[in-house]
A and B are shown apart, each in its own frame.
Chain A
Amino acid sequence: MRRAVWSGSGFVLICACTATQVLAGPTAPTPRVQANYMLNCMGCHIADGSGAPGKIPSLRNTLVPLATSPAGRRFLVQVPGASQSSLSNLELAQVLGWMVRNLSARSVPPDFVDFTASEVARYRRYPLVDVRETRARLLAATADR
């Protein structure tokens, strides 16, 4: 019964958000960095970064551990959706920083360093082939820290 109540309230909430969105529409311009996320990443990672269960892994719990280690930062740039996007090095650096600050379910450590265009350029030219294996290895390593 409790589950039914929760489902119902979630449904109402979704309807309310959808209705507001449809009737009012966005009135303030979407910031450029967020628009770049929408047009280049959100199609698969969806608005809050949670992806699709069993198909597209959620990045909400992995962004912070990856973005705070050198090997993880290299992975975030080299992962095909990022490195092969039509974003410039600067735009990709900005989108990655925006994702860490806005889509992470974990709190961003105060010493988090934003990505720079030169850092992106350095990593981006080397293709990443074993994406899943690299991701699993990096996340296992961060779990040990």
Chain B
Amino acid sequence: MHNPIDDLVERLARDMARRVSRRHFIGGVGALLFGAGTVPLLPVARGEAQPPAQGAAADPGDPRTCEYWRHCAIDGFLCSCCGGSAHSCPPGTEASAVTWLGTCHNPADGHDYIVSYNDCCGKSECGRCLCNRNEDDKPLYVPGKSNDYNWCAGSQVGIAYHCSTARIVGLAK
């Protein structure tokens, strides 16, 4: 499946992404081409300024908050705050298939759902919306039930941890 050129380019791109700040790079190129004073400053719609999504009736709450019901057993940065969502990784990261699972109670329908907290890997820590609720988490000496591992060790893009998703994979009775 893997093309050596793809692998090389991916490795170089990831190395550069870890070392070089994107804002600095974009700023440098912008200043060089246009000159800082010649570009009008346009209003920019910021994701943070938008009102929080209220969610569907069956999936209540805001995935960008730690209180969101699916986050009952999470330990990490919420991907919803990092350019991804509760079920998808932000651009530039890759989901680790190896993961921690738990069950959370959905207040809308009263059912317990099986939630898979797949980590998104390949970039340094997101740093936003740290959420550490850890329901049913056990100490490291119960390895199968402890979420204090870096699950990115099981990904194919290296151990750099960025954020965590909360995907529904089953409906517990």
Q: Which residues of A contact B (CB under 8 A)?
A: 3, 18, 21-22, 25-30, 32, 34-35, 38-40, 42-44, 46-47, 52-53, 55-56, 81, 84-86
Q: Is B100 an interface residue (CB 8 A)?
A: yes
Cβ of A35 and Cβ of B170 under 8 Å apart?
Answer: yes
Q: Is B60 an interface residue (CB 8 A)?
A: no
Smallest beta-carbon distance A15→chain B, Å: 10
In whole angstroms, what is the CA distance A44 to B171 when docked?
A: 20
Chain A residues near B14 (CB, 8 Å)? none
Cβ of A26 and Cβ of B167 under 8 Å apart?
Answer: no
Chain A residues near B99 (CB, 8 Å)? 43
Contact of B102 among A39, A47, A53, A56 (CB under 8 A): A39
Cβ of A85 and Cβ of B169 under 8 Å apart?
Answer: no
In whole angstroms, what is the CA distance A128 to B172 when docked?
A: 32
In the assembled complex, 22 residue pairs joining A and B whose CB atoms fall closer than 8 Å, in A order, are A22-B168, A25-B168, A25-B171, A26-B113, A30-B172, A35-B170, A35-B172, A39-B102, A39-B114, A42-B116, A43-B98, A43-B100, A43-B144, A43-B151, A46-B97, A46-B98, A55-B98, A56-B98, A81-B144, A84-B143, A84-B144, A86-B142
Contact of A18 among B88, B97, B156, B172 (CB under 8 A): B88
Q: Which residues of B contact A (CB under 8 A)?
A: 1, 58-59, 87-88, 97-103, 113-114, 116, 142-145, 151, 153-156, 167-173
Chain B residues near A40 (CB, 8 Å)? 144
Top 3 closest A-B pairs, CB basis? A30-B170, A26-B171, A52-B154
Cβ of A53 and Cβ of B156 under 8 Å apart?
Answer: yes
Chain A residues near B169 (CB, 8 Å)? 21, 26, 38, 42, 47
Contact count A vs B, C-beta below 8 Å: 78
In whole angstroms, what is the CA distance A55 to B168 when docked?
A: 25
The chain B residue sitting closest to A40, CB to CB, is: B144
Cβ of B170 and Cβ of A38 under 8 Å apart?
Answer: yes
Cβ of B98 and Cβ of A26 under 8 Å apart?
Answer: no
Chain B residues near A46 (CB, 8 Å)? 97-98
Chain A residues near B102 (CB, 8 Å)? 39
Smallest beta-carbon distance B46→chain A, Å: 25
Chain A residues near B156 (CB, 8 Å)? 52-53
The chain B residue sitting closest to A81, CB to CB, is: B144
Smallest beta-carbon distance A14→chain B, Å: 11
Cβ of A30 and Cβ of B168 under 8 Å apart?
Answer: no
Known: A43-B98, A55-B153, A55-B154. 17 other contacts (CB 8 A): A21-B87, A21-B167, A21-B169, A22-B87, A25-B168, A26-B170, A29-B173, A30-B170, A30-B172, A39-B114, A40-B144, A43-B100, A43-B144, A43-B151, A52-B97, A52-B154, A56-B154
In whole angstroms, what is the CA distance A61 to B77 when docked?
A: 36
